[in-house]
Amino acid sequence: MKVFFLVNRPGPALICLKRIFLLLIFSLWASVQVMGATHNSTVPSSNQISVAGNSSVSSSSSNPMAGTGNTSVSSSSSRPSVVNIGALFTYNSVIGRSAKPAILAAIEDVNSDKSILHGTTLNVVFQDTNCSQFLGTIEALELIQHDVVAAIGPQSSGISHVMSHVINELHVPLLSFGSTDPSLSAQQYSYLVRTTQSDYFQMYAVADLVDYHQWREVIAIFVDDDYGRNGISVLGDALAKNRARISYKAAFSPGASISEIHDVLLGVNLMESRVYVVHVNPDSGLNIFSVAKSIGMMGAGYVWIATDWLPSHLDTLRLPDPNIMNLLQGVVAIRHYTPDTDLKKKFMSRWDKLKHDGISGFNSYALYAYDSVWLAARALDVFLNEGGKISFSKDPQLRDTNRSSLRLSSLHIFDGGSQYLKTILRTNFTGVSGRIQFDTDKNLVHPAYDILNIDGTGTRKVGYWTNHSGLSIAAPEIVYSKPPNVSTSNQHLYSIIWPGETAKTPRGWIFPNNGKPLRIAVPNRVGYKDIVAKDKNPPGVRGFCIDVFESAVVLLPYAVPRQYVLYGDGERNPEFSELVRLVAENKYDAAVGDITITTNRTRIVDFTQPYLESGLVVVAPVKEAKTSPWAFLKPFTLPMWIVTGGFFLFVGAVVWILEHRSNHEFRGPPRKQIMTIFWFSFSTMFFSHRENTVSTLGRLVLIIWLFVVLIINSSYTASLTSILTVQQLTSRIEGIDSLMSGTDPIGIQDGSFAWKYLTNELKIAESRLVNLRNEEEYGNALRLGPKVPGGVAAIVDELPYVEAFLSHTKCQYRTVGQEFTKSGWGFAFPRDSPLAVDLSTAILQLSENGDLQKIRKKWLQTEDCSMNPEDQEANRLSLTSFWGLFLISGVACFIALTTFALRICCQYRKFVPEADVGPEEVVPGTPRRTIRATSFKNLIDFVDKKEAEIKQILKRNRSEQNHASPSSEVNFHSAP
């Protein structure tokens, strides 16, 4: 996975300062060289030793690769017998005490391995940086003059920054096992190769840990140098991606005293956040926890997250120190992850033979230092195999300074440095720290960290972090074998014991312990005093909004010191958008009142859960509707009238068909029959039909239809009664659409967001809008009407205000149309305020237990004064309510007609029996017809006959057939 770093380029002034600093260093180093030449000393410095395999410590002056001649120093064409590499770190440090034996072991292993270098001995020149960037830089220059092909170290990011400019000039790769400063990944440090993980990844691990526990603010405690500043800068960027932030940066100097640390922590303890990220050096970092313990900052409610410096210190202790572990109870720490491979286990088994200077254990930096030597050796072997030569030459730019007192001619350029660097970057092998392979940004691939929890007398692993899938309880090898997944649901850790020996996740913040209560702004309203208003009694304000806020605060598990501040002059309603802006700028700590949650406001502040539903509605005058002479048509909609009338005629026609052959009342001339159909159809509406039905099918259809008619009559009567007796109100304004299409003035509450909404969203001219301050002005404007100056056709306001206004006027006015926006009222807090989240939970609790509704009934009177034309339309009966009845009746008619038709066909078949066809009717080659061809008229005549006549004819035909059958049989048998 590629990781890109964006590093700000230093400005010209900073570049000049660095050049001046380098010049001063070169001057001092040259002075040391002059003094050394004057005394002609051959004794090596105490800070400098040279080791080649198991050979004894020798003077650095016996360097086999030392140059001869003034123009260049070069090797023979064959492989060199000895190649120098440097090791630069602070001997007396947590990292240095682990790194030195690891480097010595690596040199021994490389020189004893016959499969690498093939006769070339790797010699290491050690240099002590003495925990000083200044002295360390001078020692680094001393190291490079021994013509090393690579330098292992330094552990200090500050020295790496300075030395990077030198090695860029001299083409000497710098393999740093301890410089974790993220800015060192910049392209300007081309010859610096980091053999450990960058703090870029570590800070994202911390950010994911913070986000996992839903904290939104942290305080960074760090050492004020390149290592500390740049690491915390990346942490700020990582937190911002998760909508969190660093609320305060507590920095102190690298050599800070206990008293200085004490003062810094005292100031930190007065702040709101209780989540501390400690990013310091391992040699002095424990002083922070010692001071924190003394001032009571290691108890319940505090969160301490330490970067890899703390595990690096603890890992060097073979047995945990009870005093140290007592300081660190509940601390969460990040440690470089190194897989438990056989190589690592073998290295661990050898450690007792390698340790020195009183060191008991080793940390991850010892593993990285060991692998750095092997990286240099493997790359060197490939470099030599590919025809590379170990040669050094004078730097022309340094030669120009020979006239001065600065003796820089002893610094040589490694001629094959560029090729050697490329070989290092493409090297891929598995070391004791894991896989050694670099990506395009020169970072080790597959970064991973252990998440540790210090509890009791040791550390407990609670999970891992990778940039592949974030937090996980699965080992990184397993995680990297699966597709990446950084979703929230995929983040997992084991339980953590926090300071105070509690397993409950701390809230992560508390009110500042500086004695200042929250300054809560409350709008000083002119109207609607029941919602929020000034009060003479403590706390100085009262109303519905205040009671909701106070009730929610009582449910919080902690005290909230607060002070209400009125916002507004009391003569006009304040501008709520301006109030919200002041909260966003931290002029107020919160705003409590009837503040509508809108899109623009949520961009700058955080709102709580809405405690009251709201939305814009239209209020307009109404008048009683006059009774219409055509009111009797209103109960049914037009489709209902059409379908009902059609079914009356359809059912009448079906009954006539079913009764025509057997009922003499449905027979006669065509005119009489048509009149009978119409009369019978509509007389069933009043159950006054005089014709009797005699057929079974006719009675079936009629009884079902009479049931349908009964339901329709009852519904029609009820609807008509309601229309004629209930008061009907009308208004020429039917909703917001009517206002938009007209030109009448519209009333708006002073200070409401409705002004901007109507002008910006609905494009209503500002000249049409009239500001109204209170309920009295509402009533006066509506009474005057749109034709009188100061009057309005309607008022657009939020529903809670409208309900209160209509209740006071006894529904003299009504709301028309529907709500055309949906929103709510909430309390406003600055962005990422944890109090907004806790109060939202409290408001939901008030809603669930019914207290919120009780508060609303106490302060806000509500009456249903709505008048919606659609509601009046809904009182009319439509086809939707009766289609089931019509369907039943239609199905019954269909079944009756089908049965009747089948019966007719059977009778007609018997009425026209088979007969012999005359000779003149026989057509050769044509099939014989089984039924005589008859015209449609004959069929109609058959259907029109009475049932009794048909039965007599069929009876006579059967009798004739019975008399004719015997003679026919005799003739058949007597035929010759």
**Cβ-contact 142, 86 below 8 angstroms:** no
Q: Answer yes or no: is pLDDT of 974 > 50.
A: no
SS (H, E, C) 807-875: HHCCCCEEEECCCCCCEEECCEEECCCHHHHHHHHHHHHHHHCCHHHHHHHHHCCCCCCEECHHHHHHC
Q: pLDDT class for 975, splitting at 50, 70, 90?
A: very low
> Crossing angle for the helix pair 936-944 and 883-911, nearest 10 degrees?
110
Of 123-137, 613-627, 720-734, 899-913, the poorest mean pLDDT is in 720-734
SS3 at position 84 = strand
Q: Is the pLDDT of residue 415 over 60?
A: yes
Distance between terminal CA atoms of the chain? 111
> What b/e readout covers 362-379, taking b as 16+ CB neighbours within 10 angstroms?
bbbbbbbbbbbbbbbbbb
For the packed helices 12-39 and 133-144, what is the interaxial angle rounded to 10 degrees? 60
Task: Tell me whether residue 926 is exposed, middle or buried, using C-beta atoms within 10 angstroms of its C-beta: 0 to 12, 13 to 18, 19 or more.
Answer: exposed
Comparing CA positions, the residue from 609, 566, 619 lying closest to residue 736 is 619
CA 921 to chain centre: 91
Q: In which band, very low, low, confident or very high, does the pLDDT at 5 lie, cut at 50, 70 and 90?
A: very low
pLDDT recorded at residue 356:
55
Q: Of 964, 674, 752, 728, which Cα lies nearest the Cα of 867?
A: 728
Read off the pLDDT of each residue in 692-704 and give the average, rounded to a whole number. 77
Mean pLDDT, all residues of the chain: 81
Residues 6+ apart with CB under 8 A from 493: 212, 451, 462, 463, 471, 473
Instruction: Report d(CA 498, CA 518) in Å as an integer.
Output: 28
- CATH topology (fold) of 518-610+834-842: D-Maltodextrin-Binding Protein; domain 2 (3.40.190)
Give the span between the Cα atoms of 172 and 894, in whole angstroms: 101
Q: Is 772 helix (H, G, I), strand (E, B) or coil?
A: strand
pLDDT tens per residue, range 290-310:
999 999 999 999 999 999 999
| Confidence band of 708 (pLDDT split at 50, 70, 90) | confident
Residue 176, number of CB atoms within 10 A of its CB: 30
- Determine how many CB atoms are found less than 10 A away from the CB of residue 113: 12
Query: Is the pLDDT score of 399 beyond 80?
Result: no
Q: What is the pLDDT of residue 830?
A: 92
SS3 of residue 277 by DSSP: strand
Contacts of residue 896, defined as CB under 8 A and 6 or more positions apart, other chains included, come to 654, 658, 697, 698, 700, 701
pLDDT score, position 299: 93
Instruction: Report which of residues 673 and 895 the model is more confident about.
Output: 895
Q: Of 209-218, 381-390, 446-455, 667-676, give the lowest mean pLDDT range.
A: 667-676
Instruction: Please name the helix (run of DSSP H) or strand (run of DSSP E) that holds residue 252, with its range, or none.
Output: strand 245-252
| pLDDT at residue 602 is higher than 80 | yes
Write out the DSSP string of 503-570: -SPP-SB---TTSPPEEEEEE--SS-TTTSEE-SSTTSEESHHHHHHHHHHHTSSS---EEEEEES-S
Q: If you average pLDDT over residues 480-487, what whole number do you get?
A: 90
- Dump pLDDT digits (tens) for 807-857: 888 778 888 888 888 899 999 999 888 889 899 999 999 999 999 999 999
The answer, yes or no, to whether the previous bond of 154 is cis (omega within 30 of 0) is yes
User: Residues near 753 by Cβ (< 8 Å), separated by ≥ 6?
Assistant: 576, 577, 596, 598
User: How many C-beta atoms surround the C-beta of residue 19 within 10 A?
Assistant: 11
Could you tell me which CATH number the domain at 199-345+447-490 has?
3.40.50.2300
Least confident of 465-474, 525-534, 940-949: 940-949
Q: Out of 238-242, 783-787, 814-818, pick the least confident.
A: 814-818
Q: 11: pLDDT confidence band, cut at 50, 70 and 90?
A: very low
Instruction: Report, as an integer, the average pLDDT of 353-362.
Output: 65
The rounded distance, in Å, linking the Cα atoms of 172 and 146 is 12
pLDDT band at 6 (very low <50, low <70, confident <90, very high): very low
Give the Cα separation of 592 and 520 in Å (integer): 7
The angle at the Cα of 89, spanning 86 to 94, to the nearest 5 degrees, equals 145
Q: Which CATH number fits domain 82-194+362-434: 3.40.50.2000, 3.30.465.10, 3.40.50.970, 3.40.50.2300?
A: 3.40.50.2300
Q: Given 3-state DSSP classes, what are the helix, strand and coil percentages for the chain, each rounded to the nearest 5?
A: 45, 15, 40
Residue range 624-629: mean pLDDT, rounded: 60
3-state secondary structure of 172: coil
User: Can you tell me the distance from the alpha carbon of 314 to that of 715, in angstroms, rounded to the nearest whole number?
Assistant: 87
**Under 8 Å CB-to-CB from 170, ≥6 apart: which residues?**
144, 395, 411, 412, 413, 414, 417
pLDDT in tens, 199-221: 999 999 999 999 999 998 999 99
The correct CATH number of 619-624+730-822 out of 3.40.190.10, 2.60.40.10, 3.40.50.2020, 3.30.360.10 is 3.40.190.10
Nearest to 639 by CA among 876, 892, 890: 876
Mean of pLDDT values over 906-915: 61
Q: Is 74 a residue whose pLDDT tops 60?
A: no
What are the backbone dihedrals phi and psi of residue 463, each rounded to the nearest 5 degrees, phi first? 160, -170
CA nearest 201: which of 41, 60, 334?
Answer: 334
* Cα–Cα dist 841/552, whole Å: 9
Comparing CA positions, the residue from 146, 46, 159, 162 lying closest to residue 95 is: 159
Number of Cβ within 10 Å of residue 960's Cβ equals 10
Q: What percentage of the chain reaches a pLDDT higher than 70?
A: 77
Q: 537: which strand partners?
A: none
% residues pLDDT > 90 (the chain): 42
What is the residue type of 793?
A
Helix 947-973 to helix 883-911 angle (10° resolution) is: 40
Residue 430 or residue 708, greater confidence = 430
Exposure string of 423-433, with b = 16+ CB inside 10 Å and e = fewer, is: bbeebeeebbb
- The pLDDT of residue 940 is 65
Average pLDDT over residues 51-62: 38
The answer to whether 510 and 301 have CB atoms below 8 angstroms apart is yes
In the prediction, which pLDDT does 2 show? Answer: 39
383 to 194, 375, 376, 419, 426: CA distances (angstroms): 20, 12, 10, 8, 11
Return the pLDDT at 900: 78
Q: What is the mean pLDDT of residues 114-127?
A: 90
Question: From CA 153, how far away is CA 150, in angstroms rounded?
Answer: 10
pLDDT-wise least confident of 114-128, 327-341, 962-976:
962-976
- Residues 275/216, Cβ–Cβ less than 8 Å: no
Task: With a cut of 80, say whether residue 417 has pLDDT above it.
Answer: yes
| Tokens read off for 308 | 């890899």
In 10 A of CB 318, how many CB atoms? 12
| DSSP per-residue letters across 601-646 | HHTTEEE---SEEE-EEEEEE-EEPPPPTTGGGTTB-HHHHHHHHH
